[in-house]
Amino acid sequence: MIELSHVSKTFGDATAVDDITMRVAKGKLCALVGTSGCGKSTTLRMINRLIDHSSGDIILDGQAIEQYDPVKLRRRIGYVIQSTGLFPHWSVARNIGLVPRLLKWSATDTTARVEKLMGLLGLPVEEFAHKYPHQLSGGQAQRVGVARALAGDPDILLMDEPFGALDPITREKLQEELAKIQSRLHKTIVFVTHDMDEALRLADHLVVMRDGRIVQQGTPLALLQHPHDPFVESLLGGLERGLKQAALTRVKDHMTSLGPTLPAQSRIPADFSLRQALSMMLRDHCDRLTVVDQNDVPIGELSLRRIVKEAQWDRTSQRES
């Protein structure tokens, strides 16, 4: 667990981070979002003491970070950056094995760990272990970057715009894989990004920053439903907010059981989002979809009326509470 309370950082006269208080629960992914220069990277780098904070407390597993030896602290925190920061003179395997070697694991343990992580990140060992970073594509290099960060089996992972330099397709693929890895490993992750879609897709907890301060924080759904001010609203996509919210909602949570009427032609898997359902309705010119499970067996149906009403219901229930 990571706790920041009233943390500030000043560089000379300039204040980069101003009185931040936030908490990242164990095994959750917290996204720091904001325009560039809002202090989100500085916040991240204060956690592994690449930058020392000026005031306030940063507490890691119940202990203030000043009490840790910075080198040992960093070895138990994974770190991924946009430019990958891979060592160009080392092979992929050697890059990934860095932290285990620093932690003085045995050679066999290190090799086993490296191979396991390469498998986890979809990098076939025979093909990639001996390649050098300059022989990799951007996506492959960042996979190596993530593997390297996970190599020492840290509880905490800090990611500084890890997918920012990748093309949209690769970015989406890596986001998907990160979500999959996270659902398996349950690391405590702090994720810096300026891409709101990325944050909404991955985060359990969303922190919006502006000029070194936290403007609003909460679950992605809460932020979408009640943006605190026009800045947060514009960051959340203004008019597109409805669609973004639909993207966070699963079809299976809103479907109704199969009625007596003829099932609709278009079929949608149950774990797709409402946004994808809406898109399918627009594409197929229909207002009803048949919901199917993984084996393509119909298990329910979803209508446009239902989606719109659900959204309304969400809003009224929020207003009442």
Partner 1 sequence: MSLIDALPSPSFKRRPWQPNVVLCCLSGSMLAAAWLLNVVSVAPNRIVSGTAFGMVDAIGWPGAALVSLLSLAMATLALMPNVRHYRAVLAIVTLTLLLMPFGLMVAGHWLVDPSLPQARLGIGPAYWTVLFVLLLCLVELRLRLGLSRWWTALLLFGVSVVWWGCAALWLDRLALVQEFQARQGQFYQALMQHMVLVSTAVGVSVVLGSLLAMLMRRYERLQKVAFTLLNFLQTIPSLALFGLLLAPLAWLAANVPTLAALGVSGIGNAPALIALIAYSLLPMVRNTYIALEEVSEDTLQAAKAMGMRTTQRFWQVRFPLALPVLLEGVRITAVQAVGLTAVAALIGAGGLGTFIFQGLGQAAMDMVLLGALPILILALMVDAGLGALADALRPGGRQ
The answer to the question of residue 132 lying near partner 1 (CB under 8 A) is yes
Per-residue x/- track, 153-182, partner 1 (CB under 8 A): -----x------------------------
The answer to the question of residue 133 lying near partner 1 (CB under 8 A) is yes
C-alpha 119/C-alpha 10 separation (Å) is 42
C-alpha 97/C-alpha 90 separation (Å) is 10
The answer to the question of residue 91 lying near partner 1 (CB under 8 A) is yes
Q: Which stretch binds partner 1 (CB under 8 A): 7-15, 73-81, 193-201, 292-300?
A: 73-81
Contact 21, 202 (CB under 8 A): no
Q: Which stretch binds partner 1 (CB under 8 A): 26-34, 86-94, 176-184, 200-208?
A: 86-94
> Which residue lies nearer to partner 1 by CB, 25 or 107?
107
The answer to the question of residue 72 lying near partner 1 (CB under 8 A) is yes
Count, in order, helices (H) and strands (E) of the chain: 14, 13
Q: How far is the CB of 211 from partner 1 (least distance, A)?
A: 24
C-alpha 38/C-alpha 58 separation (Å) is 19
Give me the phi and psi of 237, to 5 degrees please.
100, 10
Helix (H, G, I), strand (E, B) or coil at 291: strand
The residues pairing with 207 across neighbouring beta strands, listed in sequence order, are 32, 217
Per-residue x/- track, 22-61, partner 1 (CB under 8 A): --------------------------x-x-----------
Contact 95, 87 (CB under 8 A): yes
The answer to the question of residue 88 lying near partner 1 (CB under 8 A) is yes
Residue 258 per-residue DSSP state: -
Rg (CA), the chain: 22
The answer to the question of residue 68 lying near partner 1 (CB under 8 A) is no
Residues that bind partner 1 in the complex, under the rule CB under 8 A: 48, 50, 71-75, 77, 79, 81, 83-91, 98-99, 102, 132-135, 148, 158
